[in-house]
């Protein structure tokens, strides 16, 4: 055969590479789709995934064993039994055909019944019954039909569906029809259900043991997760929590307790330091006020008093942000009462406030910190808007507070910046000279210490919407 030495062009090579890469890209996309589908339907909890890891191989192993048993044992035994019964029937037919015609066939019937345990009858040469519907799954029906065709090779009819303990076989002879009744147990491996019951029973026992074992192993992990979640929300750690379970889980629990103790010590030290600083600075500011009250002109005193008030307000804001209200214990907070106070505040500021509360008004949070959070967000809306709407929805496990206003709003690209400490925008909602730039930073810090967050969006009123989500 002649071969061509013409070199391949670059565009041909590119086409070949493209044609080769296209199936690879399609296969990669198909694999990604399958992976996403598996991830979507896979359980998310560790307990359920562990059960799947234990149960899935067991089910696979039992299925393989059942298939091998059905294929190698059940079918083989059934074929051998059917072959033996068919061989006996063939022997009876040979006896009938070789028996003297004038002799009585009762002796043949006796031999078949006593020696071969087959009940036989000789019927008139009527047509065989019409073939019935074959069962969906019957090894016996297939095996008997095959053996009768191979060994006897005469027209026949059989019924393996009727009486559960008897198999009826009819074979057409030259001038009569032989009807044979055989026990199903002689033609069929009928005790296989015992094996299947044992297999299913042992599987259920093993699964029950695995479930109990996994529950005991996963319970310490769940307790550790609950303790960490409670600490993250500022709640006390469960009283009965201690490192349990496997060695790795115990080490993780001990590390969590040590971390918690270090954080609490740091918070206590910071709180003590801030208390001292706050006391000393307030003492100096009070001394300034006394000195101003004793001397100087009234105009000078008013200006200096205003500066001192501003300094004191800024100091309180800085200390509140640094303190973070983390030392407060959780308690019940009445949302309805708080919204009533905000309604009074709106009347004093001459603002239009509309409130709505759905669900229980009692929320388990750190009351003072959560009150500061809501006051900062709603007060920020009062400062820049004329109309404010507050919608609170308390469902099982979650609290959602939405604050809408009709103010100038904040550009989307700057909405994250306002949560940074000491950041004050030059336009929109921050054109006045008041405030320290810590209100929203304190609010988000409190929300996140409760396990929630605050996000800013566009409001249907035309201004800004603040969405507060807190697990409660």
pLDDT average per 10 residues of sequence, the chain (472 residues): 44 49 67 73 75 83 77 77 91 87 80 89 87 68 87 89 79 90 80 72 84 84 83 72 83 87 77 70 75 66 70 67 63 92 91 92 88 91 92 90 93 87 58 60 86 91 93 78
Looking at residue 2, its pLDDT comes to 40
Q: Please, what is the Cα angle at 451 between 446 and 454, to 5 degrees?
A: 60
Backbone angles phi, psi at 458, to 5 degrees: -75, 140
Rounded distance, CA 44 to CA 103, Å?
82
Give yes or no for a contact between 446 and 369, defined as CB atoms under 8 angstroms apart.
Answer: yes
The total of other beta-carbon atoms located within 10 Å of residue 148's CB is 22
Q: List residues bridging with 453 in a β-sheet.
A: 469
What pairing do the DSSP bridges indicate for beta strands 352-358 and 387-395?
Answer: parallel
Q: List residues bridging with 209 in a β-sheet.
A: none
Looking at residue 400, its pLDDT comes to 94
Q: List residues bridging with 457 in a β-sheet.
A: 465
Rounded distance, CA 148 to CA 84, Å?
11
The two structure tokens encoding residue 309: 């008030």
What is the residue extent of each domain of the chain?
Answer: 40-223, 280-323, 331-470
Q: How far is CA 253 from the centre of its chain?
A: 24
Q: Catalogue the active-site residues.
A: 279
Q: List residues bridging with 466 in a β-sheet.
A: 403, 456
Alpha helices (H) along 43-165: 46-68, 75-98, 106-114, 139-151
DSSP 429: T
The two structure tokens encoding residue 369: 């910190």
Give yes or no for a contact between 177 and 170, defined as CB atoms under 8 angstroms apart.
Answer: yes
Q: Which residue has the tokens 């296209």?
A: 22
HSE-up of residue 267 (Cα within 13 Å, Cβ side): 13
DSSP 121: E
Domain 331-470 in CATH 3.40.50.1970? The answer is no
Q: Please, what is the Cα angle at 32 between 29 and 38, to 5 degrees?
A: 145
Q: Taking the complete model, does pTM exceed 0.85, yes or no?
A: no
Looking at residue 435, its pLDDT comes to 55
Q: 40-223, what's its fold? A: Beta-Lactamase (3.30.450)
Rounded distance, CA 44 to CA 443, Å?
32
Q: List residues bridging with 298 in a β-sheet.
A: none
The two structure tokens encoding residue 65: 């064993």
């Amino acid at each position: 055969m002649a071969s061509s030495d013409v070199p391949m062009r670059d565009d041909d090579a590119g086409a070949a590479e493209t044609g080769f890469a296209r199936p690879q890209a399609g296969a990669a996309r198909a694999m990604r789709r399958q992976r996403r589908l598996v991830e979507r339907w896979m359980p998310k909890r560790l307990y359920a995934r562990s059960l799947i890891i234990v149960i899935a191989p067991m089910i696979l192993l039992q299925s393989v064993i059942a298939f091998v048993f059905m294929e190698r044992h059940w079918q083989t035994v059934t074929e051998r039994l059917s072959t033996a019964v068919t061989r006996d029937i063939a022997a009876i037919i040979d006896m009938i055909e070789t028996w003297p015609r004038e002799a009585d066939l009762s002796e043949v019937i006796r031999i078949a019944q006593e020696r071969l345990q087959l009940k036989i009858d000789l019927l008139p040469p009527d047509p065989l019954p019409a073939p019935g519907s074959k069962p969906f799954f019957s090894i016996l029906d297939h095996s008997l039909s095959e053996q009768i065709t191979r060994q006897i090779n005469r027209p026949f009819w059989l019924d393996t569906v009727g009486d559960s303990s008897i198999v009826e076989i009819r074979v057409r002879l030259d001038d009569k029809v032989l009807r044979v009744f055989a026990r199903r147990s002689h033609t069929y491996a009928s005790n296989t259900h015992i094996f299947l019951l044992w297999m299913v029973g042992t599987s259920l026992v093993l699964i029950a043991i695995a479930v109990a074992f996994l529950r005991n192993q996963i319970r310490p992990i769940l307790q550790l997760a609950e303790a960490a979640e409670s600490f993250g929300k500022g709640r006390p750690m469960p009283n009965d929590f201690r490192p349990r379970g496997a060695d790795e889980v115990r080490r993780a629990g001990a590390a969590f307790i040590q971390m918690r103790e270090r954080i609490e010590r740091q918070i206590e030290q910071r709180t003590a330091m801030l208390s001292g600083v706050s006391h000393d600075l307030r003492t100096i500011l009070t001394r300034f006020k006394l000195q101003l009250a004793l001397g100087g002109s009234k105009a000078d005193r008013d200006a200096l008093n205003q500066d001192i008030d501003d300094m004191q307000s800024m100091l309180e804001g800085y200390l509140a942000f640094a303190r973070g209200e983390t030392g407060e214990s959780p308690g019940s907070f009445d949302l309805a009462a708080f919204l009533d106070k905000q309604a009074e505040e709106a009347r004093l500021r001459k603002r239009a406030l509309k409130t709505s509360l759905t669900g229980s008004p009692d929320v388990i949070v750190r009351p003072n910190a959560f009150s500061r959070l809501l006051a900062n967000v709603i007060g920020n809306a009062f400062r820049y808007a004329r109309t404010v709407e507050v919608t609170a929805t308390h469902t099982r496990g979650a609290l959602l507070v939405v604050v809408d206003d009709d103010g100038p709003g904040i550009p989307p690209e700057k909405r994250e910046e306002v949560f940074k400490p000491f950041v004050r925008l030059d336009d929109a909602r921050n054109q006045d000279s008041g405030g320290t730039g810590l209100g929203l930073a304190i609010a988000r810090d409190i929300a996140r210490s409760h396990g929630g967050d605050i996000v800013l969006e566009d409001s249907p009123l035309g201004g800004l919407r603040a969405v507060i989500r807190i697990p409660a």
